Amino acid sequence: EPEVTQTPSHQVTQMGQEVILRCVPISNHLYFYWYRQILGQKVEFLVSFYNNEISEKSEIFDDQFSVERPDGSNFTLKIRSTKLEDSAMYFCASSGPTVSNQPQHFGDGTRLSIL
Amino acid sequence: DAKTTQPTSMDCAEGRAANLPCNHSTISGNEYVYWYRQIHSQGPQYIIHGLKNNETNEMASLIITEDRKSSTLILPHATLRDTAVYYCIVRVSREYGNKLVFGAGTILRVKS
């Protein structure tokens, strides 16, 4: 069964450094998402992306965050200058190929630890 | 999107059916009911979804009441591996911005 893959599984970064989290969505999906989960808290929506544009973003997704689909297979989340409070699990999801009621499928996440 | 209410936790004996309720009394006509689960710290796993009719797949069954104000997820023969947090999410299907809003969910503990 096709799945969403995320790399790395664990990323440790110094505060203030840039970090890029990578995702390979399911191949025929057209809608892409990032969510995060701070330890012990709920899963929170960050951003959705379609047709090379952000279609919706939450208030968490400020100017320090950006997303990109650099090629036909990868979908990345960049945090420009990391803060301690960015430490969390980051989940990528994809859905499609049509929008309708297609469910989102999630990867197993990247654990980001900011020191 | 409509708000959902789920019990905080439930226990189920291994091999028995697990019935997880969800209340969504403010659901509107074009909102779907989705169920996901999260095992330990893994990514949320899609289980099933429906609009009006009951649905069944290889993982579970979804029973939606006729007035659509509540639903029940049924795992027919729960195993220890079904121990997880189960999320009931109600969501309109839009052309864009189909974000999922996760609540606290129900912690299901399957016991031997």
* Nearest-by-Cβ selection for A99 from B49, B93, B101: B93
Whether A32 contacts chain B with CB within 8 A: no
Confidence of residue B97 (pLDDT cuts 50, 70, 90): low
The yes-or-no verdict on residue A100 having pLDDT over 70 is no
Model pLDDT, residue A96: 83
Are the beta carbons of B43 and A48 separated by less than 8 Å?
no
Are the beta carbons of A101 and B104 separated by less than 8 Å?
no
CA distance B100 to chain A (A): 7
**CB contact at 8 A, B94 and A99:** yes
Which residues are registered as beta bridge partners of B12?
A: B110
Are the beta carbons of A48 and B32 separated by less than 8 Å?
no
**CB contact at 8 A, A51 and A108:** no
The tens digit of pLDDT for each residue in A40-66 reads 999 999 999 998 999 999 999 999 999
Residue of B nearest to A56 (CA): B97
Tell me the C-alpha distance between A41 and A58, whole Å: 17
Model pLDDT, residue A115: 96
The yes-or-no verdict on residue A114 having pLDDT over 90 is yes
Confidence of residue A99 (pLDDT cuts 50, 70, 90): low
β-strand B106-111 against B9-13: which pairing, if any?
parallel
| Percentage of the residues of chain A whose pLDDT score is greater than 70 | 98
Q: Give the residue-averaged pLDDT of B8-29.
A: 96
| B contact test, residue of A50, A61, A106 with most B CBs within 10 A | A106
Q: How far from the centroid of its chain's Cα atoms is residue B86's Cα?
A: 6
Q: Give the residue-averaged pLDDT of A23-27.
A: 94
In three-state secondary structure terms, B24 is: coil
Confidence of residue B92 (pLDDT cuts 50, 70, 90): confident
Model pLDDT, residue A51: 87
Average pLDDT over chain A reads 93
CB atoms within 10 A of CB A36: 24
Q: Enter the DSSP assignment of B5.
A: B
Tell me the C-alpha distance between A95 and A33, whole Å: 9
CB atoms within 10 A of CB B15: 11
Cβ-Cβ contacts under 8 Å, A109 against chain B: 41-43
Are the beta carbons of A31 and B98 separated by less than 8 Å?
yes
Residue of B nearest to A111 (CA): B41
Sole residue written with tokens 């403010």:
B26
Whether A43 contacts chain B with CB within 8 A: yes
* Tally of residues, chain A: 115
